[in-house]
Copies of this chain bind each other. A is one copy, B any other.
Amino acid sequence: MTLEKLHGKIDKSWDRHLSETRRLLRMPSISMTGEGIEESAHAVGDMISKLGAEPKLFRGGKKSHPLVTGHLDVGAEKTALVYGMYDVMPVGDIGEWDHPPFGATIVRKKPYGEVLVNRGVANSKGALAGSLLAMRTMVENDEMPMNVHFLIEGEEELGGLSLPKYVLKNKEKLSKADAAFTFDYGENAEGVPVIAFGMKGCVYFDLEAEGTEQTGGPMEGEVHSSEAVWIHSPVWRLVHAISTMVDENQQPTIDGLWDDVLPPSPEDLELVKKLAKKFDPDAYRRDLGASKFKIEGSKEEMLKKYIFEPSVNIDGLLAGFTEDGTKTVLPPRAKAKIDIRIVPDMTIEKTRAKVMDHLKKRGFTDVKMRNYEDYPWSKVSPTADVSKACVEAMRYHGKEPEVWPMHAGSAPYYLFDQVLGVPWTCAGLGHGGRAHAPNEFAVVKGMKDFEKSVITVFWKYSEISSKHV
């Protein structure tokens, strides 16, 4: 069968696929509250069993939501890991929705035509259902070119234990896979598929200062601010400590942080060059509600910094009395929530140690670090089979993709990349919007294109990788 004919099968079964996708979307699966999680895990399991694989649920801890796993063996030479997520964000203010958040309503929306409105359709249950249905089409037509290990998690919006624990536990088996895929609606609002060959890592922590024996500050609750002449304030302490972490242009100044920052490779720079041609800085910063960039240079230089440099960001600050009015208090503690985006070859462990050494060297031994879950960076070469397959698949559909050597955001793809050593990619046609917000939507035509593109990626990968077996 040709790829074109296989795509025709999607057209033929589209009504059934759309209705099956809507069935999954109508099922709530809110990881933050747990609503509908179990039912959804089983529904995903059912879809996997229809592919001919035996679904299993794995829980990383007592309170973990299940990871849906399964092994589809079609007797192919190559094996893929397919990662997906079935959990969604809470609905938020129901009054801001024009349609029921779990109604899977299809309406017209300019300039897209028909769109499907539902929590999770764009992020990412629409793509999850579509990719499983695309694989079913291949399996039913005996045209599935790869075996698959499924890793469909229900804790993506929370950051849970199930996925990393399972991956570590099954490292030997999973690391034998040839490629890892995440399929998602990858087109931007202009219909250009965006692909990233890497993700920055993210080290997240709170820095906390409080009254201690060392500094003398209040250790039994707040003190009247008239005592500030002679009683130590943990708030000033925290402000002084963190103020040393970036310079006046807000570039990281943590001692040694830049030592491990690799310059981009010639391939990376080639991609940046291409990207710069398409990149519209004004449109980009307008989308963010910013009036200008804080860094200067050519579009190429700016993108190079954006993509390959680390950042130190304050996500939140909290101390004392924060309302309007005039409570005069010397607070007993203060905290700053901080994330550091790390790039190759920075590591989580070294980054944390450098922050603490930096503070210690300046005498801030009373400032404590509280850790949260982190993501290492991940990266795949533009010349890897998965990368080429992905670009060629988009071109097959008549779309020249916009390729980013790294995405500035962070995702758990390091599990494939750094833990398992399996090159990964994230691709797909289709467009969705308003993820995490009311009236989350996906373009219906794009949902069909998406299924076809999943098939194309698998086929292109097999084609390319078979050339050098």
Binding site for B on A (CB under 8 A): 159, 200, 202, 204, 211-213, 215-221, 223-233, 235-236, 239-240, 242-243, 246, 248, 250, 285, 288-295, 302, 305-306, 309-323, 325-332, 334-335, 337, 339, 341, 363, 372-373, 407-410
Contacts A314-B320, A328-B339 aside, 17 further interface pairs with beta carbons under 8 A come to: A215-B294, A216-B292, A228-B311, A230-B306, A231-B288, A232-B250, A239-B243, A240-B243, A315-B328, A315-B330, A315-B331, A317-B317, A317-B318, A318-B318, A320-B337, A322-B337, A326-B372
Residues of B within 8 A of A328 (CB): 202, 204, 313, 315, 339, 410
CB closest chain-B residue, reference A308? B229
Bound-state Cα–Cα, A248 to B236, Å? 9
Bound-state Cα–Cα, A325 to B219, Å? 25
Q: Are A313 and B225 in contact (CB under 8 A)?
A: yes
Residues of B within 8 A of A323 (CB): 316
Residues of B within 8 A of A314 (CB): 233, 235-236, 239, 319-320, 331, 334
Bound-state Cα–Cα, A316 to B317, Å? 10
Residues of B within 8 A of A204 (CB): 326, 328
Bound-state Cα–Cα, A217 to B325, Å? 26
CB closest chain-B residue, reference A158? B325
Q: Are B289 and A218 in contact (CB under 8 A)?
A: yes
Bound-state Cα–Cα, A239 to B232, Å? 18
- Known interface pairs A225-B341, A229-B408, A409-B224. Does A290 touch B211 (Cβ–Cβ under 8 Å)? yes
Q: Are B315 and A317 in contact (CB under 8 A)?
A: no
Q: Are A230 and B305 in contact (CB under 8 A)?
A: yes
Most-contacted residue by chain B among A314, A322, A334 (CB, 10 A): A314
Residues of B within 8 A of A332 (CB): 289
Bound-state Cα–Cα, A294 to B216, Å? 7
Bound-state Cα–Cα, A332 to B291, Å? 12
Please tell me how many copies of the chain the complex holds.
Answer: 2
CB closest chain-B residue, reference A247? B240
Residues of B within 8 A of A292 (CB): 213, 216
Residues of B within 8 A of A321 (CB): 315-316, 337
Bound-state Cα–Cα, A332 to B314, Å? 11
- Known interface pairs A200-B226, A248-B240. Does A220 touch B408 (Cβ–Cβ under 8 Å)? no
Q: Are B290 and A226 in contact (CB under 8 A)?
A: no
Give 12 A-B contacts (CB < 8 Å), ordered by A residue. A216-B290, A216-B294, A219-B290, A221-B289, A226-B407, A226-B410, A227-B408, A228-B250, A231-B285, A232-B290, A235-B314, A315-B326
Min distance, Cβ A164 to any Cβ of chain B, angstroms:
15
Min distance, Cβ A305 to any Cβ of chain B, angstroms:
6
Q: Are A223 and B291 in contact (CB under 8 A)?
A: no
Q: Are B213 and A325 in contact (CB under 8 A)?
A: no
Min distance, Cβ A92 to any Cβ of chain B, angstroms:
14
CB closest chain-B residue, reference A309? B229
Bound-state Cα–Cα, A290 to B210, Å? 11
Of the residues B293, B322, B326, contact of A318 by C-beta under 8 Å: B322
Min distance, Cβ A447 to any Cβ of chain B, angstroms:
25
Bound-state Cα–Cα, A212 to B202, Å? 27
- Known interface pairs A226-B341, A289-B221, A321-B337. Does A294 touch B240 (Cβ–Cβ under 8 Å)? no
CB closest chain-B residue, reference A364? B248
Min distance, Cβ A268 to any Cβ of chain B, angstroms:
16
Bound-state Cα–Cα, A407 to B409, Å? 53
Residues of B within 8 A of A221 (CB): 289
Min distance, Cβ A212 to any Cβ of chain B, angstroms:
7
Q: Are A246 and B242 in contact (CB under 8 A)?
A: no
Most-contacted residue by chain B among A221, A330, A332 (CB, 10 A): A330
Q: Are A339 and B372 in contact (CB under 8 A)?
A: no
CB closest chain-B residue, reference A362? B248
Residues of B within 8 A of A224 (CB): 409
Residues of B within 8 A of A159 (CB): 326
Residues of B within 8 A of A315 (CB): 225, 320-321, 326-331
Bound-state Cα–Cα, A215 to B248, Å? 12
Q: Are B288 and A223 in contact (CB under 8 A)?
A: yes
Residues of B within 8 A of A330 (CB): 313, 315
Q: Are B408 and A211 in contact (CB under 8 A)?
A: no
CB closest chain-B residue, reference A311? B228
Residues of B within 8 A of A294 (CB): 215-216, 230-232
Min distance, Cβ A118 to any Cβ of chain B, angstroms:
23
